[in-house]
Structure 1
Amino acid sequence: MKRTRYVSAATAVVLMTGGPVAVATAAAADPVRTVTAAPAALRVDATAESASAAALKHYPGVIESLDKDGTVWHVDVISKDGKGHAELQVSASGSVTEQNRDTNENAAENKALVSAKVTAQQAMKAALAAHPGQVTTVEWDDDDGTASWHVEIKGKDGKTWDAQVNPATGKVTQSDSDGDSDDDGDDNN
C-alpha cells in the first residue's frame, strides 16, 4: 500500500510540473487533433475560351453567340446539322446549365454559320491577337446580308474594343472602340 502512495505521489508531481507541457506537445503531435488551415478557395472566373469549351462539351455543335453577364456566360449553340439549338449558362466554375433546347430549327437559316471556315473560337483568337484583353462577347452577325463575327474585348486599360472578324478569312477589322462597356441597352439577342 505504501508503494502505491509513492507511485501516485510521484505521478502527481510529474503531471503538475511537466504534465501541461507533455500534454500540449502530445496534442500538437496528434494528427487527429491537429487542425491545419486549408488554403482559401480562389474564385476563378471562366474565360470566354473555357466557357465555349464547356458549352460545346455539353452540347456539341457551333457557337452562335457567347456573352458574359457578371460571372455567368450565356452561350447559344447550334447543332452541326443546323436543326438544333441550345441556350446554355456556364458558371464561373465552368459548370453548364441548359436553359432551353430546340430541335426544330430551320437548317437553311443556320447554313452560313454551320459552314463558316472561321469558328467563334477562332474569331476570338484572331481578335485577341489584334487587341489583347478579355473577350466579353462573341456573336454571329448576318443581319445585313454580310456575315461576320462580332467580338467585343475589354482591354487592360478598361476600354472596350469591338472587332469584326471575317468568317471566311479570319481577317480582323476594328469597328468601334469606346471608353466603357456595352451598357447602352443594346439587345444582342
Structure 2
Amino acid sequence: MKRNAYIAAAASVVLIAGGPAAAAAAASADTARTAPAAVAPADVDAQAAAAAALKTYPGVVESLDKDDAVWHVDVIGKNGKHAELTVDTRSGKVFTENADDDSDDSGGNKALLAAKVDAQQAMKAALAAHPGKVWSVEWDDDDGGAAYWHVEVKESSGKTWNAHVDPTTGKVTAASDDNDNDNN
C-alpha cells in the first residue's frame, strides 16, 4: 500500500513539475510547425511617405515622387521655409536632404499654403477616381492659369493615369491616360 502511495506521489510530482514544462515545449514545437513564414515588409506608399515627411518637417507637401527605393518629398513649412526630404520605401525613415535656413518666402507659396485641398486629399481624390498606387503628386501653378494638383496613379499593369485635382473642391477636373509602362 505504501508502495502505491509513493508511486502516486512521485507521479504527481513529475506531473506538477514537468507537466507545464512539457506542455509548453509541445506547444512551442506545434507553434513552430504552424507559424507562417516571415512576410517581407510592404513598401511605404505615397500617403505614408507624406505623413512621415510631415511628421519630421511640419508644413504642406508641395511635391512627392517615387524614385526606386525612396520617396522624394518637398515640404513648405508654415513659415515659408522649404525642405527636400527622402523617405525610405521599406522602413519609412526620413532623411533631410536640404532645408532652407531663412524664412524669406517672397510670396511664392501663398496659394499652396492657402489651398483647401492638400496633397494627401488630392491623392485620395485621384485614387477614388482611378484605383492604383500614387506614384507622384505635385502642386502645379506654373501654367499661368489656375493652380491644381497633378497626381500620377499607376495601375498594377504598369499603365499610368494622370489626374488634375482642384485645390479648392478636391474634384478631379482633368484626367488623361498615358501608356508609360516605366515601373520606377
Q: TM-score, normalised by structure 2?
A: 0.75
Q: Answer whether contact 1:51 1:90 (CA < 8 A) is retained.
A: yes
CA distance in 2, matches of 1:182, 1:167: 28
| Equivalent position to 1:74, from 64, 72, 80 | 72
CA distance in 2, matches of 1:174, 1:157: 22
Q: The residue matched to 1:109 in structure 2 has which SS?
A: coil
Q: Answer whether contact 1:123 1:170 (CA < 8 A) is retained.
A: yes
Two-structure CA RMSD over aligned residues (Å): 2.6
Match of 1:172 in 2: 172
User: Percent sequence identity over matched residues?
Assistant: 62
Q: How much has 1:179 moved relative to structure 2?
A: 1.9
Q: Structure 2: where are the runs of 5+ without partners?
A: 1-21, 26-31
Which piece of structure 1 moves more, 158-167 or 37-46? 37-46
Q: Answer whether contact 1:123 1:151 (CA < 8 A) is retained.
A: yes
Q: Show the 5 A alignment for 1:1-189.
A: 39-40=37-38, 42-82=40-80, 84-92=81-89, 93-104=91-102, 105-146=104-145, 147-181=147-181
Query: Which whole-Å deviations, capped at 9, do the CAs of 1:119-157 have from their partners, x for residues lacking one?
Result: 000000000000000000000000012311000000133
Q: Aligned letter for 1:58?
A: T
Following TM superposition, the consecutive aligned residue runs of length 4 or more in structure 1 with deviations greater than 3 angstroms are 36-41
CA distance in 2, matches of 1:78, 1:181: 31
Q: Structure 1: where are the runs of 5+ without partners?
A: 1-25, 30-35, 184-189
Query: Which whole-Å deviations, capped at 9, do the CAs of 1:8-65 have from their partners, x for residues lacking one?
Result: xxxxxxxxxxxxxxxxxx9xx6xxxxxx699435132100000000000000000000
Q: The residue matched to 2:97 in structure 1 has which SS?
A: strand
CA distance in 2, matches of 1:119, 1:58: 17
Q: The residue matched to 1:180 in structure 2 has which SS?
A: coil
Q: The residue matched to 1:57 in structure 2 has which SS?
A: helix
Q: Which has the larger radius of gyration?
A: 1
Q: Answer whether contact 1:161 1:174 (CA < 8 A) is retained.
A: no
Q: The residue matched to 1:106 in structure 2 has which SS?
A: coil
CA distance in 2, matches of 1:73, 1:101: 16
CA spacing shift, 1:172–1:77, aligned 2, 3 Å: same
